[in-house]
Amino acid sequence: MTSKSIQTTNRYVQELAITSDEALSLDELPKRAVVFGGGYIAVEFASIWKGLGATVDLFYRKELPLRGFDDEMRAVVTKNLEGRGINLHPQTNLIELIKTDCGIKVVTDHGDELIADAVLFATGRLPNSKRLNLEAVGVELDKTGAVKVDEYSRTNIPSIWAVGDVTNRMNLTPVALMEGTCFSKTVFGGEPSKPDYSNIPCAVFSIPPLSVVGLSEEQAIEQANGDVLIFTSTFNPMKNTISGRQERTIMKLVVDAETDKVVGASMCGPDAPEIMQGIAVALKCGATKAQFDSTVGIHPSAAEEFVTMRTVSRRVTACGKSKSNLE
């Protein structure tokens, strides 16, 4: 029997746990899987393994998974994960893994124990810059090892540029492509170009998926000078009528009350990423709620809900205090 403490070294993770890299090349599907983390990768792999028939336990340190996303949407995703049969362990840390004849014993900071065939660590990554020997030429790194760049992706050494996750700006593949395109225009096209990080859509491919663009309700309230209007719609997809699955779709629009500009949109439900890609174009163009309302919906479709939400669900002041719809 071998025991390894979580807090030891990275070598320990390689011995008794895996990352998302190894999870994609396992020789066989684990029947009992433990996922540690509350971000994209953790939620997605928990959904994948559960969908393939494994027993899945998801551990995360916060009260809800997907920190940084809209709190209302986080709660919906959590409920959906539970509805799919994933065992959730909020506010829980793993303190020890023990290799046994029956599998890997997982011990939590609450004193609970369970046996797993695979333990996936999905608690974040650091920029992979150590092997580049950048210090030798004087390229500045931050405390995480990320390459420091200016708004054009140039480092402090004029001839060296960096794009993508190694700069630790917004770690998404399409964003890295945008940064690379801007770099190419700047250096080779004679057209100085800065990456634009406003209104970048993203998705968490849980089952069903979550997709967002713009500001969350919490971010909008924090940044607002005046009131924020929240429009929501929730319904049971038609296909669930036959299957009987209790998994409601929820949509949300966040609107600046003073300008009527839609500053955020989110959806959790089937085809959310496909729908949100189109909504992202509207936000990029600075669409107002009046323009959403004047757009004719495609019926019957889920997406039409985004242009038929006419009643304010709540009005929130800049300090975060809700008002009634009549005020």
Residues 202-211 have a mean pLDDT of: 96
* 192 within some domain: no
pLDDT of residue 180: 98
pLDDT of residue 238: 73
* 195 within some domain: no
Q: Are residues 102 and 164 in the same domain?
A: no
| CATH number of the domain encompassing residue 206 | 3.30.390.30
Strand partners, 114: 106
Q: Are residues 115 and 8 in the same domain?
A: yes
Residues 41-60 have a mean pLDDT of: 97
pLDDT of residue 10: 46
Q: Are residues 64 and 90 in the same domain?
A: yes
Whole-model pTM: value is: 0.90
Select from 187, 219, 236 the last residue of a domain: 187
Select from 65, 89, 121 the last residue of a domain: 121
Q: What is the pLDDT of residues 254-303, one digit of tens each?
A: 999 999 999 999 999 999 999 999 999 999 999 999 999 999 999 999 99
Residue 286: strand, helix, or coil: coil
Burial class (CB in 10 A: 0-12, 13-18, 19+), 217: buried
Q: Are residues 218 and 145 in the same domain?
A: no
* 193 within some domain: no
Q: Which of 225, 299, 300, 310 is catalytic?
A: 299
| CATH number of the domain encompassing residue 140 | 3.50.50.60
220 conformational bin, left if phi > 0, alpha if psi -120 to 50, beta if neither: alpha
Q: Are residues 115 and 73 in the same domain?
A: yes
pLDDT of residue 320: 60
Residue predicted with more confidence, 245 or 31: 31
- pLDDT tier for residue 326 given thresholds of 50, 70 and 90: very low
Q: Which residue type does 311 have?
A: T
Q: Are residues 225 and 251 in the same domain?
A: yes
Q: Are residues 104 and 13 in the same domain?
A: yes
Query: Residue 110 catalytic?
Result: no
How many domains, the chain? 3
Can you give the residue range of the structural domain that contains 98? 2-121
Burial class (CB in 10 A: 0-12, 13-18, 19+), 36: buried
- Distances in whole angstroms, Cα of residue 258 to Cα of each of 17, 225, 282, 317: 51, 9, 19, 12
Q: Are residues 161 and 217 in the same domain?
A: no
Select from 74, 97, 121 the last residue of a domain: 121
* 43 within some domain: yes
